[in-house]
């Protein structure tokens, strides 16, 4: 799946030539013998979000129609399908059977789904039970998982035991109400973060993800689509992203099932017949040394240094609910200093902080709070840059998507 940023929709909607150029540069040049297996083009990413206040709505259908013609010209329209990934806030209801698209989206959703149906494209939706739990203090915690709940939702003859099924069937109901109740559905994103907020931890992430995988592989479907599981399910995400925007929440950098260095965060069986996730091998780390707060110095004037460090490096584990939240003020300073130091490839000057930092060879990690050591090479600790890690993980991702 190749994605088009929302910011490009206006240009693609107004210019057939721009659409032709985009398809040539991003699709047709790669779909060759021995090349890339591109199945979908995502036209925008969650462009219907309430927070966008409708700014992308005028561009979606014109952009899709231009791009479709471009695929036809390139003789790719029968194989590469256009989709529009939607967030679950595009539809609403108090019960799954009452699901409808938001009133201001009814017209464009009808046009979009009609196009998808006519061209053999699925409806792509991103579902996040974690966000339901994170945003609503009254949301029943066990309903977010797949291990059974004391807060089952009864909807006529149907009973819902987890938030995923309830959310999915709300979409099915909304699609049915505009005449397309049987269109295939792909879950484009679903996952659980492991750090940075209350409820974002390894135990919860493993319980959710393993429960989801088991649920999908049983092919039970949902009450409104029994025995018909989603066409595909994409786990979000493969790796942590240490430079990702944290505007939605400080958990945003911690969705990966692998940490930045290709190491599995928790035991997870994807049902591939190969057992649990395996760590990337032969990852090359920088030397085992860390930058910490100098205990011999007065740290009362350290705030600007911490702001500098955390404006560049990732300090989100220090937030309330994070794995490093309880290590104390001096520990917080050390964590921020070290994160910056590793990002700068352990450059000696990057641990100066006007004399407030010092290099140590003793691992300052405490309990679940891990002080990182960066990777060698040219990229930062925010990405697994080593070939062994990269190619192994890419292969696993391909297998995972095909399986689910």
Active site residues: 46, 189
Q: CA–CA separation, 153 vs 158, rounded Å?
A: 8
* Torsion angle of the four alpha carbons 293, 295, 296, 298, in this order, in degrees rounded to the nearest 10: 70
């Amino acid at each position: 799946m190749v994605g088009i940023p929302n910011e490009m929709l206006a240009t693609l909607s107004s210019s057939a030539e721009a659409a032709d150029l985009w398809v040539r540069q991003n699709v047709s040049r790669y779909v060759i013998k021995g090349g890339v297996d591109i199945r979908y083009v995502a036209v925008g990413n969650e462009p219907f979000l309430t927070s966008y206040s409708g700014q992308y709505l005028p561009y979606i259908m014109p952009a899709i129609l231009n791009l479709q013609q471009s695929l036809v010209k390139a003789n790719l329209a029968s194989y590469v399908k256009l989709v529009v990934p939607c967030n679950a806030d595009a539809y609403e209801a108090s019960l799954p059977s009452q699901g409808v698209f938001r009133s201001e989206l009814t017209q464009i959703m009808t046009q979009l789904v009609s196009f998808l149906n006519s061209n053999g494209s699925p409806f792509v939706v991103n579902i996040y039970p974690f966000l339901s739990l994170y945003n609503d203090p009254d949301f029943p915690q066990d309903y977010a998982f797949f291990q059974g709940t004391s807060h089952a939702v009864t909807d006529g003859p149907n009973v819902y035991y987890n938030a995923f099924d309830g959310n999915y069937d709300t979409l099915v109901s909304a699609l049915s109400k505009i005449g397309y109740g049987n269109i295939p559905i792909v879950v484009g994103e679903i996952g659980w973060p492991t750090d940075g907020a209350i409820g974002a931890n390894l135990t919860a992430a493993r319980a959710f993800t393993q429960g989801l995988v088991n649920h999908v592989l049983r092919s039970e479907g949902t009450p409104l689509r029994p025995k018909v599981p989603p066409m595909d399910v994409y786990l979000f995400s493969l790796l942590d992203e240490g430079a990702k925007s944290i505007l939605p929440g400080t958990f945003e950098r911690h969705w990966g099932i692998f940490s930045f260095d290709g190491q599995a965060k928790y035991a997870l069986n994807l049902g591939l017949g190969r057992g649990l996730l395996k760590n990337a091998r032969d990852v090359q780390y920088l030397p085992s040394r860390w930058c910490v707060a100098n205990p011999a110095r007065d740290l009362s004037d350290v705030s600007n240094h911490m702001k500098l460090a955390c404006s560049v490096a990732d300090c989100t584990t220090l937030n309330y609910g994070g794995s490093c939240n309880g290590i104390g003020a001096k520990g917080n300073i050390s964590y921020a200093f070290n994160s910056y130091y590793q990002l700068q490839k352990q450059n000696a000057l990057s641990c100066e902080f006007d004399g407030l930092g010092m290099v140590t060879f003793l691992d300052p990690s405490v309990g679940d709070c891990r002080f990182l050591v960066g990777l060698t090479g040219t990229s930062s600790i925010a990405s697994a840059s080593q070939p062994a890690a990269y190619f192994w993980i890419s292969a696993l991702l391909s297998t995972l998507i095909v399986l689910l």
